[in-house]
Structure formats: C-alpha cells, structure tokens
Structure 1
C-alpha cells in the first residue's frame, strides 16, 4: 500500500521544541554547527523501536506542555525524560510504541525525571532538508523552535503490520548518575596538578545558563591559563575560561574557540548531560591515562 503525506499539528508547546536528527556533518569548515539531538542515545532508541534509519528526524521537547494532533494513522515512540504521556486523555504508561489513529491527540505533561524528551514517528518527520539535515538552526532553517499552530509533515502508515504484542520499556535510570566520563583535552597539560585534582575530585552544579549552545557550571576555578589561538571545538568539549568559568559546549555551539580545552565528554556523557536540569550536580571522571 502506498504512503501519503500527512500532517502533525502542534496545538500547544513550551519553549525549545524543535526537529533534530544526527546533525550537519562535515560543514564545520564553513563555520556551521553540527546541531542534531542533544541526547543521541534517546533519539536512537525511538528510531530503533520504529525500525527507522538512525538518521530519521525526531521531535526534541525541552519543556512539558506539548499538545499535538495527527491527520492520519501512524506509529510513534517516546523516550528521554520520564514524563506523563496521554493519547485522547488516556495515560500511556509505557510510551515506547504507540499506534496513532486519525485525529488522535497527544499530550506531554510533567517531566518527572530528565530534561529532554524525544518523539519519533514511523519513517521520521519530514521537515525541510537544509545542508543534508532537517535539524533546526536559526541561521539555516526557517524556524529555530516551534510555537503553537506549527505543522510537521510525515508519511502515514495505514497498515497494522507494526502492531506489537509486547514492547520494550525505556529505562530512565541511566542518566540519573552524576558521573560524566571524559577524555583529557589537548590543553589539559597546561593545568597544574592542583587544578587537575580539583576538577576530578569536586562536584559541580549546572547553572541556569544552559541551552543548546552549551552548559555553564556554577563553580569557578581560578587559573593562569593563557588565551590560545582559535582551535577546533566540538559538542562535549569542556572549556575553562581565564575568568574561571567551566563551559561544556552543546550541539549548536560554535565550531572554533580560543579557551583551553580541558576535557572532551564521551558520547554517553553528552546524552547524560542533556538530561540534567539547572541546579543538578555532575562530576568529571577521566577514562584515559
């Protein structure tokens, strides 16, 4: 049976709802951020549940309060933050695989744990493709974030072949750890032993200055590090400024920077950080010698 293009209507949303995929790879030489999902682990999981390619576009939701409806049948999967999920007013206790019928209304309520939720749809959302990615980014795509009355295209799935008699349950405990595993960065050697020990032995609090550009930590570290020539940086690069601020770069961060690069988060640590809220605690754990 052939597929038809359908529309998901966003009736209500909090700030920070966007379409994301694996991002814009190989465009850093033009100064273009990678973008893509902040928590790639959760995004990969929903696409796996739907038997989608790993680069299929998903909805990244960073605030509760999303309400949306669907113009045609499909299947969706939800992972990331633990939240209250309802379809037509009925709570869905395990939203890992949800059949959707025409005119069904989905509601995302309170986030119980975690900070970002990922909504995948069968065949992926079909937002505009820009520079080989559907990821929203202000300077490249028409929208940076959705507001109410937003519309997203998707392919319908009228068959029942995707109905499962059992389904996997998303585990929320993996991001509850405080530990962020890191590799030492290229400028780690510029720190004295006292500063190195402090960074690896102390706990740090996420500041309110946290978004898709990056996360700043509340605690500062006095140092005499020099300003460096501009060097490549990536999502998960940890910088220490001359003023003592510790900044962890996010998916929409710049691609070069002059602050010393003291750590690089592992892929899993990047996803764990994406699920942390302001005020929560993290600590660095070195995984190389």
Structure 2
C-alpha cells in the first residue's frame, strides 16, 4: 500500500482539499485548505489536479515516514523541512524513497504549510470531499502512528528542475481586500472610517475564525436575524469585536456581516499569526 506514517504529529495537521460545497443548507461547513494559493502551488509543482488533497500543517509541522517511494512538493509557510535530516527547499519537486523521513520544525515565516504528494492523499472521501472536519470524517487531526493512504506513485517520473520562487509579499502583506457586507451601511460614517483606516490586532487564530482585539469605538446596538455566512465573512459583535470567519466556520450567524473578504485575502489572512495586525481595503465587483 502506498502510504505515509505519522511518527510525530505537529501542532495541527489535517488532510484538506479545496472544500466541501453544496451542503450549507444542512449545516455542513465548507472546510478545505485555509491558504488555497499555497496549496494549489504545491499541487502544480508535481502536476497534480488542483482538486487533489494535501496535508495542511499549522505553526509546527510533523515527522513523517514514507512507506513507499513518492514525489512531493512543499509550499506555504517555511517550516524548515528536512529529508533524512538534510534541509530541502520549499516549492521544489522532490523524490522520496521507501523509509525516508520527512520532518518539519516551527514556521519561520507564515503560519500554514502544505505538503502535496503525487496523485494526492487518499483518506476516506465524505460528501464529495477529503477535507477533514469533526463529525464528518473519521480522520480529523493527525496523531502518532496514523497511516495516511496516498495515491499510487508512478514508477518513472521525469525530473526537471520544477521550482517556483517564494513570493514573500504573500506573507508580508497586511492589507486585506474586502467587499462591503450586507450590513456595512449599519455602521456610522465614523465607524466606517475607523474600519478602513485602523489596524486590527489578531488575538485568536483557528480554522473556524480569526478574532481581533475589541475596538470600543465600533460598538453598536444593531441586531439582525440569523443569516447565511461563509468563509471570509467579517462579523462585528455589539461590543466591537471583529471576527473573520474561516474555512471551518458555521453556515449561519447572528452578527452584522460588515465585510466579505476576497479569496486572495482569505489566503493572506491564513498565513497570519496572533499579535500580528491587518488592515481592510474596500474593493468593488
């Protein structure tokens, strides 16, 4: 069997693809990779479909043993990957042999890294997706000893020098493009100005949402009926707390939806850690 064994899990490792669509009406989140740009890049390096599942790693990566030869690529945050204790480059096509050990450390920059293998990871597919989510998939977070099936590897793979230069702007960018949300106009002109000129500090970072420090000047008394939300929806609580919903977010919410992040902005935010600051910039369709 073509597979990878988890020798030591990282902080938060999970199998993800581009997401699980079409089930919001029954309360199933989209899930999927947080930084789709980096995940797609890893798949592109080894000529995978963009739909192939990858391993998403957050903050600190795992130690993995390959039980069969494979072709891989790593993109996203730099977690100092090593193959048999020898450093390897990010965003480069790599060949691994049976018994090889691939290890990751702490993220030097960014927050989430992606490991792609030729023909993808092949965990159980649920509701048309491999994306891990508690209550949907059997495998959620990787644990020690877990065996992860991967797609059959080609016996012969022609190697060129496939690599892509790391775009540090993706990690350094602090400005998130966003569209006006359905309740944007509920804010006063002064609050709208604060929203689009101030910087907001991240205080919590999960796959469900990024939360920002309270801004008392954004406090309000607006109430709305429970309404549909999606990844990228920016909600504002009555106390003035901003929350940017991410890939594992609920499908409905009761706070005003003041902004909707662009797909690229979601990917940029996914590489931010707590204590970092971001700004919002309005864009138009």
Deviation at 1:95, TM superposition (A): 4.6
1:89 and 2:88 are equivalent in the alignment: no
Distance 1:158 1:102, change over 3 A: farther
Q: In structure 2, what is the equivalent of residue 277 of structure 1?
A: 273
Residues 174-202 of structure 1, C-alpha deviation per residue, up to 9 Å, x if partnerless? 22111001000010011110000000010
- Looking at structure 1, the residues matched to 168 and 145 of structure 2 have their Cα atoms a distance apart, in angstroms, of 31
1:160 and 2:121 are equivalent in the alignment: no
- Of the three residues 231, 236, 243, the one matched with 2:239 is 243
Deviation at 1:158, TM superposition (A): 4.5
Runs (4+) of structure 1 exceeding 6 A deviation are: none
Residues 213-236 of structure 1, C-alpha deviation per residue, up to 9 Å, x if partnerless? 101001324432422111110101
Normalised to the residue count of structure 1, the TM-score between the two structures is: 0.94
- Looking at structure 2, the residues matched to 281 and 79 of structure 1 have their Cα atoms a distance apart, in angstroms, of 23
Residues 129-183 of structure 1, C-alpha deviation per residue, up to 9 Å, x if partnerless? 0110111100111132111111100134253324123432332332211100100
Structure 1 unaligned regions, length at least 5: none
Q: Which has the larger share of strand?
A: 1
- Looking at structure 2, the residues matched to 73 and 162 of structure 1 have their Cα atoms a distance apart, in angstroms, of 14
Normalised to the residue count of structure 2, the TM-score between the two structures is: 0.96
Distance 1:117 1:65, change over 3 A: closer
Q: In structure 1, what is the equivalent of residue 136 of structure 2?
A: 140
Distance 1:159 1:170, change over 3 A: farther
- Of the three residues 165, 177, 194, the one matched with 2:173 is 177
Alpha-carbon RMSD: 1.4
Alignment of 1:1-289 (within 5 A): 5-207=1-203, 209-221=204-216, 222-288=218-284
Count of residues in correspondence between the two structures? 284
- Looking at structure 2, the residues matched to 169 and 100 of structure 1 have their Cα atoms a distance apart, in angstroms, of 21
Structure 2 unaligned regions, length at least 5: none
Moved more, 217-226 or 79-88: 217-226
